[in-house]
């Protein structure tokens, strides 16, 4: 009797996750190094926290309360304790500060880059796993800490190759919106309703006034037919909030007067205006005018833990998707002040402010502008003419690496033709060949693979290809490193 046939697992990815290749990874590493250099120039230092946190440490400040598991991926450990993959880098920072508060220099200034996970509905360009790069200042209530992050965001985008006019960092204060909500009859203690309102407003760029109005009211059905329940506000309440986030004022002075009217006699609203004015004064004194940082009441940020200044870096040039259609890309970085997050652990309010760059999103934009050329150095493949005697090939590869070049000796089982195909697939710049005849003459042959590919496109016959030897040359073995460097320089 034959044993039951075992089913083979399907080679498939979970929805919302993806594999990434060498070119993207190396371009990202180069981008991260640029961001890191800017952050460190401002005095920030690195911190790492684990991928998992106890779910209770994440608390109620979760990204999407309408999704299963409240927007996070969770499991139980051996002690029956619920743990969750971090959905951002801010909640782990709050936990770290609370656990080490007495030993930290305050203000505590740290940066961190890492993967985060969100159990949200995936879509085009929207993944459940992605990379963020954060910088935070914990322990300062001063508006200067917020202003500094806005300056640093501008400097970072320009260091990555964007020019002024390609981006704008928008600034607002959540206390202004709290004042409007209070004046509209929405209790600030009603965190559930307030959270729905904030997430609705945060989608203004994507859904427009009509879509946000629906979410402020009874709810909205999207293109796929999924229904999102709204905040249940009256038309009058929704109108007052929309007048704040999408003003129809003709100029800035009129806009400020309109805000004053909408906020009414709210004390929290007045405090927000005062903080905003302090930040703007610092920015202007440091040379960061409205061409780089701009006040915009439409910026509110969707997460519920922000308590004061909020900001978003947005791109001002058109972005096209894979189908060539022009799309609204949204923010590539954002953050704000969260003075209550550490207090969840200690009971003591610890002021804090931070900013986070969406690395994957920003990198896709930089690629569309030609600003993410691969960071990998040219590869030299040293072929192995005689597989029973590969030592000479390994010696050449080692010699090239010792000279600071990127080189590998072929370790497969293919013949010479297969080795050249391998080098082509690897995107190698040069192939090094040492056959018996070359070795007898004390020479090696260098084959410029990129040039050879171009010549192969233009020749009409094999005879012409053989006659045209510009794509390869023989050099003395002792001059290997010098000749390879000269060939690479000639390709630049």
62 SS3 class: coil
Residues 162 and 267 in one domain: yes
Residues 312 and 410 in one domain: no
Q: Mind listing the pLDDT tens digit for each residue in 397-422?
A: 999 999 999 999 999 999 999 999 99
* pLDDT for position 298: 78
Give the DSSP letter of residue 102. G
3-state percent breakdown (helix, strand, coil) of the chain, nearest 5: 40, 20, 40
Q: Give the residue from 340, 368, 396 where a domain finishes.
A: 368
* pLDDT for position 462: 46
Residues 302 and 214 in one domain: yes
Distance separating alpha carbons of residues 9 and 350, to the nearest angstrom = 50
C-beta separation of 219 from 228 below 8 A: yes
Q: Mind listing the pLDDT tens digit for each residue in 1-59?
A: 556 677 889 999 999 999 999 888 988 999 999 999 999 999 999 999 999 999 888 86
CATH number of the domain that residue 399 is part of: 3.40.50.800
Instruction: Give domain status of residue 9, yes or no.
Output: no
Confidence of residue 306 (pLDDT cuts 50, 70, 90): confident
**Alpha carbon distances (Å) from 463 to 230, 309, 449:** 73, 71, 19
Residues 359 and 385 in one domain: no
Q: 472: which strand partners?
A: 447
Residues 135 and 257 in one domain: yes
112 SS3 class: strand
Q: Give the residue from 368, 399, 419 where a domain finishes.
A: 368
Distance separating alpha carbons of residues 21 and 427, to the nearest angstrom = 13
42-72 burial: b if 16+ Cβ within 10 Å, else e: bebeebebeebbebebbeebbbbeeeeebbb
H-only helix segments in 251-320 = 252-263, 267-285
368 half-sphere exposure, CB direction, 13 A CA radius: 16
Residue 449 belongs to domain spanning: 379-491
Answer yes or no: is pLDDT of 458 > 80: no
Residues 300 and 269 in one domain: yes
**Residue 28: Cβ within 10 Å count:** 19
Q: Mind listing the pLDDT tens digit for each residue in 245-279?
A: 777 666 666 766 777 777 777 888 888 888 988 99
Whole-angstrom distance between the N-terminal and C-terminal Cα of the chain? 67
């Amino acid at each position: 009797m034959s044993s039951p046939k075992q089913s083979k697992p399907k080679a498939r990815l979970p929805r919302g996750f993806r594999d990434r290749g060498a070119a993207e990874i190396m371009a990202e590493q180069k981008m991260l190094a640029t961001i890191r250099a800017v952050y460190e120039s401002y005095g920030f230092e690195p911190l790492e926290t684990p991928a998992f946190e106890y779910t209770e440490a994440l608390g109620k400040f979760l990204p999407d309360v309408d999704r299963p598991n409240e927007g996070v991926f969770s499991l139980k450990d051996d002690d029956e304790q619920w743990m969750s993959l971090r959905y951002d880098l801010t909640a782990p920072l709050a936990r770290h500060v609370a656990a080490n508060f007495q030993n930290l220099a305050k203000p505590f200034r740290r940066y961190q880059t890492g993967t985060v996970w969100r159990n949200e509905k995936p879509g085009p360009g929207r993944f459940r796993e992605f990379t963020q790069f954060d910088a935070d200042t914990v322990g300062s209530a001063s508006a200067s800490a917020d202003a500094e992050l806005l300056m640093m965001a501008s400097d970072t985008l320009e260091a990555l190759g964007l020019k002024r006019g390609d981006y704008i960092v928008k600034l607002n204060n959540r206390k202004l919106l709290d004042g409007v909500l209070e004046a509209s009859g929405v209790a600030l203690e009603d965190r559930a309703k307030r959270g729905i309102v904030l997430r609705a407003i945060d989608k203004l760029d994507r859904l427009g006034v009509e879509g946000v109005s629906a979410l402020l009211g009874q709810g909205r059905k999207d293109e796929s037919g999924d229904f999102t329940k709204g905040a249940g506000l009256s038309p009058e309440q929704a109108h007052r909030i929309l007048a704040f986030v999408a003003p129809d004022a003709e100029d800035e002075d009129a806009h400020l007067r309109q805000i004053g009217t909408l906020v009414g006699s709210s004390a929290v609203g007045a405090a927000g205006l005062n903080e905003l004015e302090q930040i703007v004064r610092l920015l202007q004194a440091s040379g960061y005018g409205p061409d780089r940082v701009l006040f915009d009441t439409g910026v509110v940020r969707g997460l519920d833990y922000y308590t004061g200044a909020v900001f978003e870096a947005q791109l001002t040039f058109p972005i096209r998707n894979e189908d060539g259609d022009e799309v609204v890309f949204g923010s590539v970085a954002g953050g704000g002040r969260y003075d209550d997050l550490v207090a969840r652990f200690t009971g003591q309010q610890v002021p804090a402010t931070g900013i986070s760059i969406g690395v994957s999103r920003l990198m896709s934009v930089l690629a569309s502008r030609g600003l993410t050329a691969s960071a990998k150095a040219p590869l030299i493949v040293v072929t192995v003419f005689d597989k029973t005697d590969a030592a000479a090939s390994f010696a050449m590869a080692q010699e090239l690496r010792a000279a600071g070049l990127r080189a590998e000796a072929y370790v497969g089982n293919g013949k010479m033709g297969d080795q050249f195909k391998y080098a082509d697939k690897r995107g190698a710049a040069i192939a090094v060949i040492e056959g018996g005849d070359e070795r007898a003459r004390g020479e090696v042959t260098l084959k410029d693979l990129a040039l050879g590919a171009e010549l192969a496109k233009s020749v009409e016959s094999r005879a012409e290809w053989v006659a045209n030897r510009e794509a390869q040359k023989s050099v003395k073995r002792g001059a290997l490193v010098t000749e390879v460097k000269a060939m690479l320089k000639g390709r630049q």
